[in-house]
Structures are given as C-alpha cells and as structure tokens.
C-alpha cells in the first residue's frame, strides 16, 4: 500500500452573497486534494495522511470527523490548545471566478512546526512514499519555520521520499515577489513532481509561455513537470518532450475554487498506481471538470463516486 502525506492548512469557508445568505463549510488547497484523492482511491491501495494543526474546540473536532469519514488518516493532525482555525470568504462573479478574503494569521496550522509534538511527526514522515505540499503550505508559515520545513524535506528527499509540489502562488500571502521566489528557489531542487498552473507561473516568474515554464523548472532537474492550463487542459513534461492532454468542455462552470486541487488529486491517484503521465492528467482533467460544476471547494461525494472504480482500473 502506498502512503502519501499532504501538508497544509484547512480553514472554515463562508460562501455566498455579502450581507446575504452565507453557507459555512471548509476547505484549503492541500486538504481539498487530500479529500478528493481519498474519494477516488481504493482504501486498500493508498493511505492518505493529512499533516496539519487544528484547535481543540468543537468546530475543529467536527472537521476531524468529516475528514475521517472521507477516508483521510488524521493521526498527524495536531491539536493546539491556544489557537483555532482560519477563516476565508469566497465571492464569485458571473463566470464562476472567485476572489477571497482571509482571516488566518493566528490559525493553528500557521504554527504547526512550533507545536511541541511536531518533532514526533517529523520523525515518522520517512515512512511515507510521497510528501505533497503547496506554495500556500509554505506561505502561511513564519519565515524561520519555512526554512525549517525545507530542512526536513531535504532529509526526506535523501531518504527516498518523493516530493510533489503545487506552486499555487497567492501574492497576498507573501511579503513580496522576491520573498516567494527565494523560498521556491530553495524548495524546487527537492521536487520530483511539479504541479503548476501556468497563470501562477506567469505572475510570479513572468513566464511568457509554457515552454519557458518547462525550461525554467527543468533547470532544477525536476523529473516530471505538469502545467495546468485551466479549460484547455494540461501539459505533461518528462524528458525529452511534452505531451498535451486536453479537457472535455463542461456545459456550465459554477465555481472554480478548487479546480487545480481536484486536478492534483486525480493526477496523484493515477501516479501512485503507476499510470502514465498522460493517463494521470486525463484523470486530473476529468475530476476537475466535475468539481467546477458545483459550488464550494469540497462538493458532495456523490458527484464523484462513479470515478472510484474507473480510476482504480490499471491502464
């Protein structure tokens, strides 16, 4: 059985009209990926562990119950007696594109590495096959903790653990472009699978096209590079040439909130079974295409239930 540890933060989500009806749920980029990965993976084939911190309040405990019901192993989710969950509000335009407001500066997950029991987790992470994290996983941490996390990841890399990274650049979470670039420069040489969105790469690195993104990431000796292109599809690059994997258009886009996270889940579900990069990207496109037709970061599990048997088939 393969074992993957996903590192990051989950927050309470408010979704609705300002000064109108608001719906409360939850989400966070790596938690979204963990959830969808658990939903489309056979339990006997993959163990999905989330690495984070929550509060000790009832709301935090309710989250753990939901995650466990989805098949996520929460043994590495620490409880912080002094802090609780972050909060974000989503506003959608008529095209389903979203803007966010965040309240997360004192969230438990931000101070995960300072938790007195985090060292117990870090000592166990060498038992996993893959670590998955994102640019948000890095951005929310205090700077000294980012450096410490990269030190941990360096040791895991040398012990044979694969590192998968979604750059997921969010400018509001960084002090400056220079700070984000410096942190990414330190991490990217450790990465085995880069799962990036071209729009993010263009914003952070001023890439003019996908070939420039491939060339830049290849300079870090990253073996597998996946570039997400939204409604166009994805590009998978493994030396010597890229492969384009198109999407199937959907009739109506309701909410793109976790499209990239869902793509990553579909991709990793295939990758951890040994499928080709093209097949993995096809799974990612397929799962994301379903998710964007519903509101919220995490949709009802019935919408993706049919993918479990399909994705479990070795191609």
Q: Is the dihedral of CA 36, 50, 164, 185 positive or negative?
A: positive
CA gyration radius, the chain: 18
Of these residues, 80, 200, 255, 261, which one is catalytic? 261
pLDDT at site 88:
86
Please confirm, yes or no, whether 255 is among the known catalytic residues: no
Summarize the confidence of residues 216-245 as an average pLDDT.
97
**pLDDT over 70, % of the chain:** 97
Backbone angles phi, psi at 123, to 5 degrees: -75, -15
pLDDT class of 174 with cuts at 50, 70, 90: very high
pLDDT at site 33:
98
pLDDT at site 63:
95
User: What's the pLDDT tens digit per position in 99-130?
Assistant: 778 899 899 999 999 999 999 999 999 999 99
Summarize the confidence of residues 198-212 as an average pLDDT.
97
3-state secondary structure of 220: coil
pLDDT at site 98:
66
pLDDT score of 96 more than 70? no
Summarize the confidence of residues 199-222 as an average pLDDT.
97
Question: What token pair was written down for 23?
Answer: 């719906």
Q: At what angle do helices 198-205 and 177-187 cross, to 10 degrees?
A: 120
Closest by CA position to 304, among listed 33, 39, 32:
39
pLDDT score of 185 more than 60? yes
Contact between 308 and 42 (Cβ < 8 Å): yes
Domains belonging to the chain, first-starting first, are 2-8+30-85+111-312 (3.40.1190.20)
Residue 315 to residue 311: CA distance in whole angstroms: 9
pLDDT at site 8:
98
Residue 312 to residue 315: CA distance in whole angstroms: 9
Contacts of 46 (CB under 8 A, 6+ apart): 1, 2, 3, 4, 37, 269, 272
pLDDT at site 94:
67
pLDDT score of 197 more than 80? yes
């Amino acid at each position: 059985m393969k074992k993957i540890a996903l590192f990051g933060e989950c927050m309470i989500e408010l979704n609705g009209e300002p000064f109108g009806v608001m719906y409360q749920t939850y989400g966070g980029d790596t938690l979204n990926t963990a959830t969808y990965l658990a939903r489309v993976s056979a339990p006997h084939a993959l163990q999905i562990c989330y690495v984070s911190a929550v509060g000790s309040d009832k709301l935090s405990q309710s989250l753990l119950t939901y995650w466990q019901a989805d098949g996520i192993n929460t043994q590495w989710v620490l409880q912080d007696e002094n802090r609780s969950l972050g909060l974000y509000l989503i506003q959608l335009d008529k095209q389903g594109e979203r803007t966010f407001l965040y309240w997360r500066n004192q969230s438990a997950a931000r101070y995960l590495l300072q938790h007195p029991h985090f060292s117990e987790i870090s000592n166990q992470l060498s038992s996993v096959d893959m670590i998955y994290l994102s640019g948000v996983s890095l951005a929310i941490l205090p700077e000294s903790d980012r450096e410490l996390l990269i030190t941990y990841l360096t040791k895991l890399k040398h012990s044979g653990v694969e590192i998968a990274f979604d750059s997921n650049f969010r400018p509001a979470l960084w002090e400056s472009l220079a700070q984000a670039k410096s942190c990414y420069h330190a991490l990217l040489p450790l990465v085995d699978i880069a799962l990036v969105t071209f729009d993010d790469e263009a914003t952070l690195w001023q890439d003019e096209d996908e070939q420039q993104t491939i060339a830049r990431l290849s300079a870090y000796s990253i073996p597998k590079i996946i570039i997400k292109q939204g409604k166009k599809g994805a590009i998978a690059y493994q030396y010597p040439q890229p492969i384009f994997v198109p999407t199937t258009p959907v009739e109506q886009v309701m909410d793109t909130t976790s499209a990239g996270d869902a793509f990553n889940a579909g991709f990793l579900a295939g990758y951890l079974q040994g499928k080709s990069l093209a097949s993995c990207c096809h799974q990612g496109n397929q799962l994301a295409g379903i998710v964007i037709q519903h509101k919220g970061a995490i949709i009802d599990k019935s919408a993706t239930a049919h993918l479990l048997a399909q994705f479990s088939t070795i191609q």
